[in-house]
Chains A and B, each alone.
Chain A
Amino acid sequence: MATAEEVAKAAERRDVRDRWLLSAPALLVIFLAATGPLLIVLVYSFLTPGPYGDVKWQFSPEAWIAVFLERDIFDDTLSAAAAHVTIFLRSIKLSVVTTIATLVLGFPTAYFMATRSEKTRDLWLFLITIPFWTNLLIRTFAVLQIIRNEGIVNSILLKLGIISAPIQILYTDTAILIGMAYVYLPLMVLPIYASMEKLDFRLVEAGYDLYATRFQVLRRIIFPLVKPGVIAGSILVFIPALGAYVTPSVLGGGKNMMLSNLIELQFGQGRNWPLGSALSIAVMIIVMVALLAYVRNAGKSGVRHG
Chain B
Amino acid sequence: MPDKPDRNAIEVVNVSKIFGSGEGRVAALDAVSVSIRENEFFTLLGPSGCGKTTLLRLIAGFDFPTAGEILLYGQDIALLPPFKRPVNTVFQSYALFPHMTVADNIGFGLEMLGKPKTQIKARVAEMLKLVKMEALAGRRTSQISGGQQQRVALARALAPQPKVLLLDEPLSALDYKLRKEMQIELKRLQHETGITFIFVTHDQEEALTMSDRIAVMSSGKILQVGSPWDIYDKPAERFVADFIGETNFLTAAISEMANGKARATLKSGATIEATVAQGFQPKPNATVVVRPEHAKLTKGKGELSGTVDNIVYFGTDTHIHVHLDSGELFTVRQQNTRSAGCGFEKADKVGILIGSDAAQVLKD
At the interface, yes or no: B83 with Cβ under 8 Å from chain A? yes
Closest chain A CB from B203 CB (angstroms): 21
In angstroms, how far is the closest chain A Cβ from the Cβ of B91? 6
Interface string of B20-38 (1 = CB under 8 A from A): 0000000000000000000
Assuming the contacts A208-B61, A211-B112, A213-B83, asked whether A202 and B93 have C-beta atoms less than 8 A apart, the reply is yes
- Which residues of chain B are near A304, meaning CB under 8 Å? 98-99, 140, 142
Main secondary structure of the interface of A (DSSP, over half): helix
Place the interface of chain A in its size category: 20 to 34
Most chain A C-beta atoms within 10 Å of own C-beta, residue among B62, B91, B97, B156? B97
B96 proximity list for chain A (CB < 8 A): 206
Interface residues as binary, A26-61 with B (CB distance below 8 Å gives 1, 0 otherwise): 000000000000000000000000000000000000
Which chain A residues lie closer than 8 Å to B228 at the CB level? none
Q: CB < 8 Å: which of B82, B99, B113, B140 contacts A208?
A: B82
A206 touches B113 (CB 8 A): no
Give complex CA distance A117, B83 in Å: 25
Answer yes or no: B95 CB below 8 A from chain A CBs. yes
User: When the two chains form their complex, are residues B112 and A210 in contact, meaning their CB atoms are under 8 A apart?
Assistant: yes
The answer to whether A202 touches B95, judged by C-beta atoms less than 8 angstroms apart, is yes
Q: Is the CB of A200 within 8 A of B140?
A: no
Residues in chain B near residue A211, CB distance under 8 A:
83, 109, 112-113, 160
Whether A210 contacts B99 by the Cβ 8 Å rule is no
Complex contact A210–B88 (CB within 8 A): yes
CB distance from A217 to the nearest CB of B (A): 9
Q: Assuming A211-B112, A211-B113, A304-B140, is B98 touching A206 (CB within 8 A)?
A: no
**Complex Cα spacing A212 to B109, Å:** 7
Given contacts A210-B88, A210-B112, A210-B156, contact A200 B95 (CB under 8 A): yes
- Is A216 engaged at the interface, CB distance under 8 Å to the other chain? yes
Contacts of A216 in B (CB 8 A): 112
Q: Are B83 and A208 in contact (CB under 8 A)?
A: yes
Chain B, residue nearest A203 (CB): B95
Residues 207-227 (chain A) with a chain B CB within 8 angstroms? 207-213, 216, 220-221, 224-225
Q: Is A292 an interface residue (CB 8 A)?
A: no
A241 nearest CB across to chain B (Å)? 29
Is B49 close to A, CB under 8 A? no
A200 to B60, CA, bound (A): 18
| Alpha-carbon distance between A212 and B113 when the two chains are bound, in angstroms | 8
A205 within 8 A of B: yes
Out of A202, A210, A224, A302, name the residue touching B108 (CB < 8 Å): A210
The answer to whether the Cβ of A142 comes within 8 Å of any Cβ in the partner chain is: no
* A206 adjacent to B140 (CB under 8 Å): no
> Which residues from chain B contact A13 at a C-beta distance below 8 Å?
none
Check A163 for interface membership: any CB of B closer than 8 A: no
A206 to B160, CA, bound (A): 13
**Contacting pair B160 A210 (CB below 8 A):** yes
Is there an interface contact between B88 and A209, defined as CB atoms closer than 8 Å? Answer: yes
- Cross-chain contact A212 with B83 (CB below 8 angstroms): yes
**Does B245 sit at the interface, judged by CB under 8 A?**
no
Task: Let me know if B81 is at the binding interface, CB within 8 A.
Answer: yes
CB distance from B111 to the nearest CB of A (A): 9
> Are the C-beta atoms of A206 and B95 separated by less than 8 Å?
yes
For B156, list chain A residues within 8 Å (CB).
210
Q: Give A223's nearest chain B residue, CB to CB.
A: B99
B29-60 near A? 1/0 per residue, CB < 8 Å = 00000000000000000000000000000001
B89 at the interface (CB under 8 A from A): yes
Could you say which residues of chain B place their CB within 8 Å of the CB of A203? 95, 97-98
Q: How far does the Cβ of B143 sit from chain A's closest Cβ, in whole Å?
A: 10
Point out which of A200, A203, A216 has the most chain B C-beta atoms below 10 A from its C-beta.
A203
Residue of B nearest to A204 (CB): B95
Complex-state Cα separation, A150 to B91, whole angstroms: 58
User: Which of chain A's residues have a CB closer than 8 A to the CB of B113?
Assistant: 211
**A305 located at the interface, meaning its Cβ lies under 8 Å from any Cβ of chain B in the complex:** yes
Closest CB of chain B to A62's CB: distance in Å?
51
- Docked complex Cα distance between A116 and B147 (Å): 33
Chain B residues, CB < 8 A from A225: 98-99
Interface residues of A in 164-188 (CB under 8 A from B): none
A187 to B318, CA, bound (A): 67
Is A82 interfacial (CB-CB < 8 Å)? Answer: no
B60 → chain A closest CB, angstroms: 6
0/1 interface trace, chain A 255-296, chain B, CB 8 Å (1 if under): 000000000000000000000000000000000000000000
With a 10 A CB-CB cut-off, give which of B60, B99, B160 has the most chain A CB atoms: B99
| CA gap between A211 and B160 in the complex, in Å | 9
Interface: A137 (CB within 8 A): no
Interface string of A294-306 (1 = CB under 8 A from B): 0000000011110
Q: Is the CB of B91 within 8 A of A202?
A: yes
> In the assembled complex, how far is the CB of residue B99 from the closest CB belonging to chain A, in whole angstroms?
5
Chain B residues with Cβ below 8 Å from A206 are 89, 91, 95-97
State which of B99, B140, B142, B160 has its C-beta within 8 Å of the C-beta of A224. Answer: B99
**In the complex, A303 Cα to B99 Cα: how many Å?**
6
CB pair B82–A205 under 8 Å, yes or no, is: yes
Query: A209 with B99: in contact, given A202-B91, A216-B112, A304-B140 (CB under 8 Å)?
Result: no
Max chain A C-beta neighbours (<10 A), residue from B61, B112, B140: B112
CB distance from B127 to the nearest CB of A (A): 13
Q: Which residues on the B side are within 8 Å of A208 (C-beta)?
A: 61-62, 81-83
**Which residues of B in the span 232-257 have a Cβ within 8 Å of any Cβ on A?**
none
Other than the given A208-B61, A209-B82, 8 more pairs (CB < 8 A) read: A208-B82, A209-B60, A210-B109, A210-B160, A211-B109, A212-B108, A213-B112, A304-B99
Interface pairs (30), CB distance under 8 Å: A200-B93, A202-B91, A202-B93, A203-B98, A205-B91, A206-B91, A206-B95, A206-B96, A206-B97, A207-B97, A208-B61, A208-B81, A209-B83, A209-B87, A209-B157, A210-B109, A210-B157, A210-B160, A211-B83, A211-B160, A213-B83, A216-B112, A225-B98, A225-B99, A303-B99, A304-B98, A304-B99, A304-B140, A304-B142, A305-B98
By a beta-carbon cutoff of 8 Å, the part of chain B in contact with chain A is 60-62, 81-83, 87-89, 91, 93, 95-99, 108-109, 112-113, 140, 142, 156-157, 160
